[in-house]
């Protein structure tokens, strides 16, 4: 069983800390995405798992066996792991079939076993018709499938992917996200997938570990990471949430831009600064008609605002609105909701979508 455990993993370069005490357990057969911006430590963590570098502190345990510690590191070739890089790293002088079978040949498997595994993986990755072509004759998506086939054919305990789709155009990236998930569902290898792309993580992962400054800021299923971010960093990085600043009135109410909002969250205490998150599509926007003053809108969880700008995007209108305290929010509305800049609007914010955030 290839359960991967990171225990207090630290990697330092002099005084700089790239990985700052990461503890993470990846159960056998799970696909976990390490998601975050450049410099957050996700690729360094992957390279530590692969054995390309040694940790400064902590351990990496796979299947109950310690593979990395400050005292001893098992080399990459002793880990039964396959790694897929951004650059595909295919041999240009070998055909697709030769590239895919290369790992089997260096393991000195018999010819019948090589042929059987090669035929099966080419069929699974839909590469049979391309078996005799060279990498230079393939598209980017086809080369990435060859890279996947080569990694899977050796039947690794653990599969590592380092930004595998970053060199593809947008349409191919979308196609390959589903392909990677399809192959994972078929083979169920324990998989660690590094990406900065939220859509890739949401499409492929069982669990997402959002990383920031060398630490795991939040770990959970895609729905939880998106729907219940625990910090301002996670809320902004996943889906671009609005962040509202206010003051707690009691354990359920927060004053924002002069209005009281019922919110969702624990640990609120009166007269303390609070940050809330709410997604653009979760806010309902309506014009204030008949000369009504924005500050006198009836109903609960409503904020008065003024339209600063709006852009028609076909399926939605994208609004920027200004609150009474001068702060701005982004709101998406149906395409037939056409309100001109300068007009007063009412924003309805559902209480269960006004999420209290932990301090970053």
Do 316 and 187 lie in a common domain?
Answer: no
Q: Are residues 37 and 167 in the same domain?
A: yes
Whether the per-residue pLDDT at 150 is higher than 70: the answer is: yes
For 180: left if phi > 0, alpha if psi spans -120 to 50, otherwise beta; the answer is alpha
Domain match, 213 and 281 both: no
89 and 56 share one domain: yes
What local confidence, expressed as pLDDT, does residue 132 receive?
A: 94
* 319-360 per-position pLDDT tens digit: 999 999 999 999 999 999 999 999 999 999 999 999 999 875
Whether 93 shows a pLDDT value over 60: the answer reads: yes
Contact predicate 73/67, CB 8 Å:
yes
Number of separate domains in the chain: 2
Residue 85 to residue 305: CA distance in whole angstroms: 48
Work out the average pLDDT over 3-16: 95
Q: How far apart are CA 254 and CA 262, in angstroms?
A: 7
Q: What is the pLDDT of residue 293?
A: 45
Q: Is 100 within a domain?
A: yes
**Mean of the pLDDT values across residues 56-73?**
93
Claim to verify: residue 263 and residue 343 sit in the same structural domain: yes
Q: Specify the higher pLDDT residue, 125 or 319.
A: 319
The verdict on residue 360 lying in a domain is no
Q: Taking all residues of the chain, what is their mean pLDDT, rounded to a whole number?
A: 90
Q: How far apart are CA 153 and CA 249, in angstroms?
A: 60
Tracing tokens 């980017």 back to the chain, one arrives at 140
Residue percentage of the chain with pLDDT more than 70: 96
User: 220 with 317, same domain?
Assistant: no
Range of the domain at 251: 241-350
Least Cα distance to 251 among 347, 356, 348, 349 occurs for 356
Quickly state the pLDDT bin for 86 (edges 50, 70, 90).
confident
Query: What's the gap between Cα 328 and its chain centre?
Result: 26
Check whether residue 212 and residue 269 sit in a common domain.
no
CATH number at residue 325: 2.40.50.140
Is pTM, for the whole model, over 0.75? yes
Whether 290 has a pLDDT exceeding 80, the answer reads no
The whole-number pLDDT of residue 148 equals 87
Bridge partners of 306, per DSSP, are 322, 344
Please tell me the predicted confidence (pLDDT) of residue 295: 44
When pLDDT is averaged across residues 149-166 and rounded to a whole number, the result is 89
166/218 same-domain check: yes
Q: Is residue 297 scored above 50 in pLDDT?
A: no
Q: What is the average per-residue pLDDT within 104-125?
A: 91
What mean pLDDT comes out for the span 294-298?
A: 45
**Same-domain pairing of 74 and 209:** yes
pLDDT at residue 294, as a whole number = 45
153 is a domain residue: yes
Residues 6+ apart with CB under 8 A from 57: 8, 9, 10, 21, 70
- Picking from 201, 228, 255, the residue at the C-terminal end of a domain is 228
Span between the terminal Cα atoms of the chain, in Å: 36
Q: What value does the CA radius of gyration of the chain take, rounded to a whole number of Å?
A: 25
Q: Where are the beta strands (DSSP E) in the chain?
A: 4-13, 16-26, 31-35, 57-62, 65-68, 81-84, 158-162, 190-195, 207-212, 215-220, 242-248, 253-256, 259-262, 273-278, 284-287, 302-312, 317-323, 328-333, 344-348, 355-356
Has residue 234 got a pLDDT over 60? yes
Query: Model confidence at 124, in pLDDT bands (50, 70, 90)?
Result: confident
Mean pLDDT along residues 5-26? 95
Instruction: Clarify whether residues 211 and 77 are in a common domain.
Output: yes
The reply to whether 76 falls in a domain is yes
Of 228, 255, 282, the residue at which a domain comes to its end is 228
Mean pLDDT of 20-29: 95
Q: 208 and 268 in one domain?
A: no
Does 222 or 289 have the greater pLDDT score? 222
* 170 and 309 housed in the same domain: no
pLDDT of 170 reads 78
At residue 116 the predicted structure's pLDDT band, cuts being 50, 70 and 90, is very high
């Amino acid at each position: 069983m290839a359960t991967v455990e990171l225990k207090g993993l630290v990697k330092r370069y002099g005084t700089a800390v790239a990985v700052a005490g990461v503890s993470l357990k990846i159960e056998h057969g799970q696909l976990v995405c390490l998601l975050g911006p450049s410099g957050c430590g996700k690729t360094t963590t992957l390279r530590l798992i692969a054995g390309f570098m040694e940790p400064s502190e902590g351990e990496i345990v796979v299947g109950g066996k310690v593979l990395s510690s400050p005292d001893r590191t098992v080399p990459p070739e002793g880990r039964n792991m396959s790694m897929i890089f951004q650059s595909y790293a295919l041999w240009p002088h070998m055909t697709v079939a030769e590239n895919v079978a290369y790992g089997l040949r260096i393991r000195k498997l018999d010819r019948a076993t090589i042929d059987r595994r090669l035929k099966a993986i080419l069929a699974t990755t839909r590469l049979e018709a391309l078996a005799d072509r060279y990498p230079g004759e393939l598209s980017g998506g086809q080369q990435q499938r060859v890279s996947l086939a080569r990694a899977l054919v050796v039947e690794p305990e653990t599969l590592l992917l380092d930004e595998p789709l970053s060199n593809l155009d947008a349409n191919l990236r979308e196609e390959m996200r589903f392909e990677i998930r399809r192959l994972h569902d078929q083979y169920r290898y324990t998989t660690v997938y590094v990406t900065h792309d939220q859509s890739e993580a949401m499409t492929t992962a069982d669990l997402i570990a959002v990383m920031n400054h060398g630490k795991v800021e939040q770990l959970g299923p895609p729905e939880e990471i998106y729907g219940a971010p625990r910090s301002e960093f996670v809320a902004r990085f996943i889906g671009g949430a609005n962040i509202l600043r206010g003051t707690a009135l009691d354990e359920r109410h927060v004053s924002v831009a002069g209005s009281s909002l019922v919110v969702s969250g624990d640990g609120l205490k009166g007269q303390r600064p609070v940050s809330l998150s709410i997604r653009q599509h979760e806010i309902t926007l309506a014009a204030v008609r008949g000369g009504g003053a924005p500050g006198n809108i009836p109903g609960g969880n409503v904020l008065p605002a003024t339209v600063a700008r709006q852009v028609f995007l076909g399926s939605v209108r994208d609004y920027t609105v200004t609150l009474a305290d001068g702060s701005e929010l982004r709101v998406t509305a149906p395409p037939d909701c056409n309100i001109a800049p300068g007009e007063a609007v009412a924003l309805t914010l559902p209480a269960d979508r006004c999420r209290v955030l932990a301090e970053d």
